């Protein structure tokens, strides 16, 4: 006697051998207690699930779901490989059963991983002060007229720009400053400083709002900030009416490191007339070891820091007129870092053999400069003398009462900028359209209190 279950299994095997047909007829011998044995014909229809047994497993929706879930899990593990709280418990379990050395190694591995991941959180502060991502002060609050523009950066992230223009009668004749701000707040918090640059220096100003700050999209990162500064410069080069030969890049604090990177790139260096760096640092690893004066932090290798901003190395490639501004009351970034950048730009670290002669030249030029800037007549004679003896193109201006974010409020700040801009313009006119300046040019240290 053949049971119905046995018949069904036989049919399934037959249907698979017959290229997956969904129905078939077959005969089976049955036995009935009342009528005896006999032959009956059965027809069984196989549902679609049977057909799937012979199809490609990659076409199975269940297999596709498993693949997607697996990719998501692997992505989460890759991005948050060290942030899982369960890893701390695993460390203690291993410590309990397998000894201290392995556990300590895993603990150090976890701590360095956490430090690497929170590097962005320690460096970028777009939410300070609170609501900085929502509220950006308008130029009209400072008596300025500005044009907000949204552009796409080099990697497609949309960023916000603010262009403050001089009157249309002089708009195309005056220099334009590409303003790169620090690591907190938004461009609206720099408008008080921009007002001084607008009125005291007579410049157009383009403020670049980094990704993740203010009204810009995205998330801040070192490479992303480089893209944003490049997008700002490219915007100025394409904007109608701007004198493309008079573009000045200005960077304060973190913006100084972004400005150095922009000026060190040959494809952008040729479009920049001058560079101004204010209260900036040599590199993120250097400033990290200063702010976190712990022995364990000093033992962390430089390559392990997620953000580098190696201005100390890049400034050596910058062959542009550069003004270094340092507030000596800056308790966030040590003033000696600005002075170290100045020395690297001058090549004083490598050219130690010329130190004595350079020092004599410094003292002579300082005496001549200070003896001629006190009166209008003195300024004119000093300018003439400076041009005849090849005007310095790199300067270090120090401000005794200058703090990290308020150095621009010190007396003599804008006059220092104007003296630098004027000398650059005159020297540029004498040397034609060349944007590259000899590295051996003498530099003058200009204490702000004299001005």
C-alpha span between 437 and 319 (Å, rounded): 5
| Residues sharing a CB contact under 8 Å with residue 291, sequence separation 6 or more, in sequence order | 332
C-alpha span between 68 and 86 (Å, rounded): 24
| Residues sharing a CB contact under 8 Å with residue 212, sequence separation 6 or more, in sequence order | 124, 126, 218, 219, 220, 224
Write out the catalytic residue numbers.
253, 330, 404
C-alpha span between 249 and 318 (Å, rounded): 12
Question: 363-400 burial, b for 16+ CB within 10 Å, e for fewer?
Answer: eebeebbbebbeeeeeeeebbeebeeeebbbbbbbbbe
- Report the sign of the C-alpha dihedral through residues 378, 384, 390, 395, in that order: positive
Output phi, psi for 438, to 5 deg: -60, 135
DSSP one-letter code for 362? H
3-state SS assignment for residue 183: coil
- Partners of 274 in the beta sheet? 248
| Residue 190 CB neighbour total at 10 angstroms | 24
């Amino acid at each position: 006697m053949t049971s119905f279950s046995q018949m069904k299994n036989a049919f399934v095997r037959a249907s698979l051998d017959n290229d997956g047909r969904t129905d078939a007829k077959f005969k089976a011998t049955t036995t009935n207690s009342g009528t005896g044995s006999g032959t009956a014909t059965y027809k069984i229809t196989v549902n679609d699930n049977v057909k799937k047994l012979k199809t490609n497993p990659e076409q199975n929706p269940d297999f596709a779901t498993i693949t997607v879930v697996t990719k998501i899990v692997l992505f989460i593990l890759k991005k948050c490989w060290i942030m899982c709280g369960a890893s701390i418990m695993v460390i203690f379990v291993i410590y309990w059963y397998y000894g201290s050395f392995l556990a300590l190694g895993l603990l150090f591995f976890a701590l360095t991983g956490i430090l690497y991941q929170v590097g962005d959180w320690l460096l970028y502060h777009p939410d300070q002060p609170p609501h900085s991502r929502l509220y950006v002060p308008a130029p009209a609050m400072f008596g300025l007229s500005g044009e907000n523009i949204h552009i796409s950066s080099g990697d497609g992230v949309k960023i916000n720009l603010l262009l403050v223009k001089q009157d249309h009668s002089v708009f195309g004749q005056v220099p334009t400053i590409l303003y790169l701000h620090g690591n907190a707040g938004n461009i609206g918090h720099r408008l008080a400083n921009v007002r001084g640059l607008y009125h005291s220096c007579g410049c157009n100003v383009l403020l670049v709002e980094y990704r993740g700050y203010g009204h810009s999209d995205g998330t801040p990162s070192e490479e992303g900030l480089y893209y944003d500064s490049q997008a700002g410069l490219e915007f100025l080069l394409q904007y109608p009416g701007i004198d493309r030969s008079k573009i000045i890049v200005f960077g304060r604090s973190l913006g100084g490191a972004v400005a150095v990177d922009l000026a060190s790139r040959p494809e952008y260096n040729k479009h920049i007339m001058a560079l101004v760096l204010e209260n900036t640092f040599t590199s993120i690893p250097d400033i990290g070891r200063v702010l976190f004066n712990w022995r364990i932090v000093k033992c962390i290798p430089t390559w392990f820091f997620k953000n580098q901003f190696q201005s100390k190395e890049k400034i050596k490639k910058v062959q542009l007129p550069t003004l270094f501004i340092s507030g000596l009351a800056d308790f966030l970034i040590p003033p000696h870092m600005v002075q170290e950048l100045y020395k690297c730009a001058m090549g004083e670290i490598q050219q130690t053999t010329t130190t004595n002669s350079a020092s004599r030249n410094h003292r002579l030029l300082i005496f001549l400069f200070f003896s001629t800037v006190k009166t209008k007549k003195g300024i004119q004679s000093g300018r003439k003398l400076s041009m005849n003896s090849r005007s310095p193109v790199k300067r270090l201006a120090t401000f005794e009462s200058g703090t990290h974010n308020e150095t621009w409020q010190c007396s003599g700040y804008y006059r220092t900028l104007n003296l630098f801009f004027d000398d650059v313009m005159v020297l540029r006119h004498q040397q034609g359209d060349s944007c590259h300046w000899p590295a051996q040019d003498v530099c003058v240290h200009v204490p702000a209190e004299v001005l």
